[in-house]
Chain A
Amino acid sequence: MTARTLLQAADIQRALTRIAHEILESNRGAGDLVILGIPTRGVFLAQRIAGIISNIEPGSQVPVGVLDVTMYRDDLSDNPTRSTSPSHLPVNIDGATVVLVDDVLYSGRTVRAALDALTDMGRPAVVRLAVLVDRGHRELPIRADYVGKNLPTSHSERINVRLVETDGDDLVEIVGER
């Protein structure tokens, strides 16, 4: 087993800054934006993106929330799941532009679950997806609107995302035989 570093702290910061700019560009500003992170690491990435946006557009306060998708997963009967965590929607999402944020996009099943969860909570005008890493191998017709880094991988490899908030440092590494 070998681990190879793919993104350093500065790379992650640059990727998030670019994503923040792209979100503002396609949304034409910060109006009606709501950023929702998918636990665990998506939540912190969402907070960072919102922080960067408020630096770019002084005076704008983008609501940031948490969308837990555990109860909506389609593999609940097969796998031991992780515990559910609370969702938190800072504002009513009806008519808003919701940006979902996750760390790694892989099969697309988490995002599918997130879309179902959103449907139960309101009716956003637009839903977008931002991920730090897209590692391919989609099993559903889902793609990200904002991608930090495309990383082609094989199924046997694992992508580890480490963030200061949860792991003490910022790092993306790939683990597996190469």
Chain B
Amino acid sequence: MRHLLSAADLSRETAIALLDSAEVMAETADRPHKKLPALRGRTIVNLFFEDSTRTRISFEAAQKRLSADVINFAAKGSSVSKGESLKDTAQTLTAMGVDAVVIRHGSSGAPHLLANRGWIDVPVVNAGDGTHEHPTQALLDAFTLRRRVYGHDSRCRGLDGLRVAIVGDVSHSRVARSNAWLLTTLGATVTLVGPPTLLPHDRSAFPVNFATNLDDVLRESPDAVMMLRIQKERMHSAFFPNEREFGLTWGLTAERFAAMSPHTLVMHPGPMNRGLEICSVAADSPQSTILDQVANGVFVRMAVMFAVLTGNEDV
């Protein structure tokens, strides 16, 4: 694998190989000595043009576990605020001898530009671009689901036959988009649920079902329900009357959670707006995979960094 730009690009074989590789990485977490020497002497720059805590730290932890040298770049307080272009920033950094670039950018498609314009000649990993994709999040969600369902018998398996509902602010969510592609590629059936104003206008491009009534969807007891964060920073017009009404209609409230099947897993990519799209009872329940998702993020990102930097053909 040369780059990881989009979950839609991943074949079923490649996706499963990455998840299996992440299982191997997860095993090393139980060892007294957690660090692997695989990327010793390689330098990775994390280009974060957009705020992020968990994704940046997760990537950094993954890279350090593999012994890579890590340079963190945040656009705030950098030359970007002096007007430097993406091209110049990337070329400047790679001129310093960087072996791979992880990029988070507010504009959809920025990682594609970086990978395909010939500006730089190193692997590029998309850590979230605008409202487009967040492939490592989808991989860690798939990994978490697979582990919860199959436990230690996860290797070589897809997510065939599982039903997953992704709920809330779908149209602003790169997490929803990446998951829609990846979970479907792995054999799951995905339903996107939300107010009509927050669902995609052109639905033909998505291999998924759409619904607007969350209670109807939950009544069919899906294997997992993934609550999305309401992205206030991306909302520039009124998509729903007010937060309270949104929470009552499309949030995982305590009443909804109590009525839900005890076998339905509760997922959230974080950071959560507790009390808005998800109640604390659900978030802190045994059905919740939210902290598993954070822990698994490191393993999945280790697998991705290893795959792009060692040019493994299988992955």
* Interface of A toward B, CB cutoff 8 Å: 68, 70-72, 76-77, 80-87, 116, 119-122
The docked-state distance in angstroms from the alpha carbon of A84 to that of B24 is 7
Asked whether A76 lies within 8 Å of B38 as measured between CB atoms, the reply is yes
Chain B: minimal CB distance from A2 (Å): 29
Residues of A within 8 A of B311 (CB): 80-81
Q: Hey, which chain A residues are within 8 Å of B309, CB to CB?
A: 76-77
* A81 CB contacts on chain B under 8 angstroms: 310-312
Please classify the interface of chain B as helix (H, G, I), strand (E, B), loop, or mixed, using the class held by over half of its residues.
Answer: loop
Of residues 40 through 67 on chain B, the ones whose CB sits less than 8 Å from some CB of chain A are 41-42, 66
The answer on a CB contact under 8 Å between B37 and A72 is: yes
Say whether, besides A86-B23, A87-B27, A77 and B310 are in contact (CB < 8 Å).
yes
- Chain A residue nearest to B27 (CB atoms) is A86
Give the chain A neighbours of B21 by CB distance below 8 A: 83-84
In angstroms, how far is the closest chain B Cβ from the Cβ of A110?
Answer: 15
Interface residues on B, range: 20 to 34
Report the nearest A residue to B67, measured CB to CB: A71
C-alpha gap A68/B313 in the complex (Å): 18
Chain A residue contacts of B295, Cβ below 8 A: none
Contacts of B27 in A (CB 8 A): 86-87
Q: Measured between alpha carbons, how far is A23 from B86 in the docked complex, in Å?
A: 61
Contact count A vs B, C-beta below 8 Å: 53
Partner of B31, one of A80, A85, A120: A120
B314 at the interface (CB under 8 A from A): yes
Can you list 8 contacts pairing A with B, beta carbon distance less than 8 Å? A72-B36, A77-B42, A80-B312, A81-B311, A83-B21, A87-B24, A116-B37, A121-B32
A71 touches B37 (CB 8 A): yes
How many Å from the CB of B81 to the closest CB on chain A? 35
Which B residues lie within 8 Å of A83 (CB)?
17, 20-21, 312, 314-315
Cβ–Cβ contact B23 & A120, under 8 A: no
Shortest distance between the CB of B64 and any CB in chain A (Å): 14
In Å, the complex CA distance between A80 and B310 comes to 6
Q: CB within 8 A of A80: which of B17, B35, B155, B313?
A: B313
- Chain A residues lying within 8 Å of B23, measured Cβ to Cβ, are 86
CA distance A77 to B306 in the complex (A): 10
Does B33 interact with chain A (Cβ within 8 Å)? yes
Q: For the A-B complex with A72-B36, A76-B38 known, give 4 more contacts whose Cβ atoms are closer than 8 Å.
A: A76-B39, A80-B313, A82-B314, A121-B33
In the assembled complex, the Cα of A35 lies from the Cα of B62 at a distance in Å of 31
Contacting residues, chain B, for A85 (C-beta < 8 A): 24
Residues 3-41 (chain B) with a chain A CB within 8 angstroms: 17, 20-21, 23-24, 27, 31-33, 35-39, 41
In whole angstroms, what is the CA distance A71 to B20 when docked? 14
Closest 10 CB pairs of A and B: A71-B38, A120-B33, A84-B24, A71-B36, A80-B313, A76-B310, A83-B314, A80-B311, A81-B310, A86-B24
Nearest CB of A to B139, in Å: 15
Q: Which of A83, A87, A122 has the most CB of B within 10 A?
A: A83
**Inter-chain contacts of A121 with B (CB < 8 A):** 31-33
Complex Cα gap A120–B155 (Å): 24
Q: How far is the CB of A124 from chain B (nearest CB, A)?
A: 14
